[in-house]
Structure 1
Amino acid sequence: MAPGLNSDRNTGDWMTCLPEELWDIPLTNLAIPGSHDAMSYCLDITSPLLRSESDSFRLLDRVFYCFTRPIIYKWATTQACLYLIPDSAGLYLIPDSAGLHLIPDSAGVHLISDSAGLHLIHDSAGLYLIHDSAGLHLIPDSAGLHLIHDSAGLYLIHDSAGLHLIPDSAGLHLIHDSAGLYLIPDSAGLYLIPDSAGLHLIHDLAGLHLIPDSAGLHLISDSAGLHLISDSAGLYLIPDSAGLHLISDSAGLHLISDLAGLHLIPDSTGLFQIRQLKNIVQQLQAGVRYFDLRIAHKQNDVSRDLYFTHVIYTQVTVVDTLNTVATWLSEHPKEIVILACSHFEGLSEKLHEEFIYSLKIIFGFKLCPPKADTTLRSLWSSGYQVVLSYEDHAAERHKELWPEIPYWWANKADAEELIQYLDSQKRFGRPDGFFVAGLNLTADRCFMASNPHISLRTVTMEQWECVRRWLEDQKPGSDMTSLNIIAGDFIGLIPLCSIIIDLNKKLLKRRSPKKVEV
């Protein structure tokens, strides 16, 4: 069977699998999936703000750090993350896109299906059945039976530590275990929890939960949608109802991003170690071939390391990430990427030259010069795999670097307004070379401040269907209204890449379905 465009299984090598009929079309006339702010999935919430941010905003961030950082994080993060969680049982894989959580470990398979309302977990300890829609939570394990029944308002939990009886909506929550007695009046007032560590005082009506104990202060603010917990182990930062759960411990910062609101809770053995799984390779495998890379040097950083940025800096360095891309390209010799490097905040002329030298070392003969023929057939024969756009005048001294690639940015938080902007740009006609149509939604700070319980992710997901319908009607090619690179946010959470790749079918000549399968 001839290569085609008919399977999501080929998104990791979709250029390799294009029909031969498209091999002589320049990349500037193909539909190419792009990742807006491609590296924002690994922002470091503890890093300083970019020096370009206003003095007033920097002052606000210093004074109200605990409140500004979660807001910054959930609006600056434009790409999704997956995580591996190793524990004593093995590795737990949590994909956060389709509502299905498959967690394999050494003991068996853990399957959690959110969309069906049924949560089934199986391991060596037994079967865990959690059924949300019926209000019944039945969890048998080696320690005993844990029965939680929501609809009746009764929570009965029995384990090796003792008996926990929690009557719901009755006014009082009474929990008894080996540590002592916990008496919790519900939302009518204060939560008073005496235990061996001291007194825990929680006040709901004010929106603040203040829990002093021997380890330190635990502060939770519900009304702002932010949960901040600080103890001897480190800092736990959990933005509520934003879809993002951030956990920091002594080992570093860890992010759990989950549409279903999955919460991981550290147990008596310590904190779960959470290690990042999703990186730029997962975006490459998803089919992304254009990467929006905003680069900067940290203020007062004595090292020469460069980081990606979006209001704050990433955890990973630029050079390490691009080395990963180069390795992936060597394993996929017919795939071509477009790297758009921009911003360059804090880079001196000398640092620019050092960085460009590093780029040449990393990609070598893979770098495609601007005057090269950009058809797939020509690129494959020459071994070129990297179109590197460098948005700074330093690029003029290096024949391997491309100038800035135009980006149609609507700067709108509403999908209808985004589409109106893109349609108006199309009426003026497409540029001759590479250009990007940005599907990314953008909110100003007034919108963010007035909507504390939502995030860029929720805004994007809620309006995706509107954007999808418009996207499916687009076409690539050389026509005035055609599109080329189409970039968006949250690659993997929405089927952006497969839809964009499928647009290339419209470039195929009309032929009998029996001769070509698309």
Structure 2
Amino acid sequence: MEKKLKAGPDWMSKLPPVLWDHPLNSLAIPGSHHSFSFYTDKEARIDRPSDPIYRQFVEEFGELAGEISYRWTVTQTTTFTQQLNLGIRYFDIRVTARGEEKEDKNVYLRNGPNVLQALKEFKVWIGMHPQEVIIIDFRVVNKMSPLHHKYLLANITQDLFEEKLLPYTGNVKGITLRNMWSLAKQIIVIYPKECTYGYSSVWPNDCTEYVITESQSAKDLFEKLESKYQHGRSPHMFLCQNGVMTPTRTYLDTHFHGTLKHKLSMPATKTILYWAMDKDISFGDVNIIVADFVESSDFCNKVVSINTEIKPRPKNHSFEPESRACILL
């Protein structure tokens, strides 16, 4: 019986050799939702207008809206380095420009530091863990001009990660750990497609399929994950399966004094882990599993362990192409 694999700072390098040639888009990979939100300051005012929860409550509650927003928008309490050491290998990055458009260097994490300053944590970390692979997905790029995009992408591709970036090939299914290691590459950067022209080291975001459930109950989250699973997936894309629940104004009205972590995030993490634990990477059932507060519920260990718990079972995976079933092995 295969020993259960644990997460940690070097879990990829400890995978069984048979998985070194397994497509990266069908390994079980722990990811963090709104990965940078640990930077958020309760007193921060800079980017409050861009926060929908703040906008919903500011007219009614004034400055108290900032407190409400903080309790319901912060999704992580651990730093990038701490998340990496836990085993997180997919990061959901959301950035915004500040100040005048001509100030092309003013690209920040929302209510946080300059994004390039924050990304230096990744550069330091990969130098100490040469066989680990990180996916950095710029999910939201807000208020950014062409100059902002040019500045950010130039710094990422030339100064920050130049030698460690996997060049774009269009072939997601061909990415394996062995290939990454042979090329001495450790970082895959995903960026909005319309901004990637001319940057051969950046992958456009149409290489990723996102399963976003917009749920407020564990039952609904489970049913939506299962429904998407039953409909199949593309074998040629990363699959980002979100184990998160999202508050609506109606929900907040009835859970006003609660917090995202205790009311929605913890139940959501337990739900997606329960849903995922009987899935099999041999059939591409799971890929990037994303959660809030990734230090909780033994999240990283449970996701990583799926990779060594391959479960032989009958499954019809000879579907017609339009079913988008994953035909990998």
Range of TM-score over shorter length:
0.7 to 0.9
Report the residue type matching 1:473 in the other structure.
Answer: D
Given that 1:296 and 1:345 are in contact with CA atoms closer than 8 Å, whether structure 2 keeps it comes out as yes
Aligned to 2:188: 387
1:427 aligns with 2:230: yes
Residue 506 of structure 1 and its aligned partner are, at CA, apart by: 3.2
3-state DSSP of counterpart to 1:316: coil
Once the two structures are superposed, the pairs formed by residues 129-144 of structure 1 within 5 Å of their partners are none
Q: Residues 63 and 449 (structure 1 numbering): CA distance in 2 closer, same or farther, change over 3 Å?
A: closer
Equivalenced residue count is: 302
Aligned to 2:305: 502
Once the two structures are superposed, the pairs formed by residues 42-441 of structure 1 within 5 Å of their partners are 42-45=39-42, 46-49=44-47, 52=50, 58=55, 61=58, 64-80=61-77, 278-299=78-99, 304-308=105-109, 313-360=110-157, 361-371=159-169, 373-404=174-205, 405-432=208-235, 433-441=237-245
Distance 1:332 1:37 in 2: 23
Deviations 1:205-253 (A, max 9, x none): xxxxxxxxxxxxxxxxxxxxxxxxxxxxxxxxxxxxxxxxxxxxxxxxx
Residue 66 of structure 1 and its aligned partner are, at CA, apart by: 2.7
Q: Residues 333 and 452 (structure 1 numbering): CA distance in 2 closer, same or farther, change over 3 Å?
A: same
Aligned to 2:324: none
Deviations 1:106-133 (A, max 9, x none): xxxxxxxxxxxxxxxxxxxxxxxxxxxx
Q: Structure 1: 5+ residue runs without aligned partners?
A: 81-277, 511-518
> Structure 1 stretch 377-386 or stretch 462-471: which is displaced more?
462-471
Distance 2:19 2:293 in 1: 28
Given that 1:12 and 1:286 are in contact with CA atoms closer than 8 Å, whether structure 2 keeps it comes out as yes
Larger RCO of the pair (alpha carbons < 8 Å, separation 6+): 2
Distance 1:506 1:7 in 2: 9
Aligned to 1:234: none
Report the residue type matching 2:196 in the other structure.
Answer: A
Higher strand share: 1
Given that 1:440 and 1:489 are in contact with CA atoms closer than 8 Å, whether structure 2 keeps it comes out as yes
Q: Residues 279 and 488 (structure 1 numbering): CA distance in 2 closer, same or farther, change over 3 Å?
A: same
Deviations 1:126-176 (A, max 9, x none): xxxxxxxxxxxxxxxxxxxxxxxxxxxxxxxxxxxxxxxxxxxxxxxxxxx
Given that 1:293 and 1:342 are in contact with CA atoms closer than 8 Å, whether structure 2 keeps it comes out as yes
Distance 2:243 2:55 in 1: 29
Report the residue type matching 1:470 in the other structure.
Answer: W
Following TM superposition, the consecutive aligned residue runs of length 4 or more in structure 1 with deviations greater than 6 angstroms are none
Residue 343 of structure 1 and its aligned partner are, at CA, apart by: 1.8
Give the TM-score, by structure 2 length: 0.84
1:36 aligns with 2:33: yes
Q: Residues 415 and 63 (structure 1 numbering): CA distance in 2 closer, same or farther, change over 3 Å?
A: closer
**For the aligned residues, what is the CA RMSD?**
2.5
Distance 2:278 2:256 in 1: 34
Residue 44 of structure 1 and its aligned partner are, at CA, apart by: 2.6
Larger radius of gyration: 1
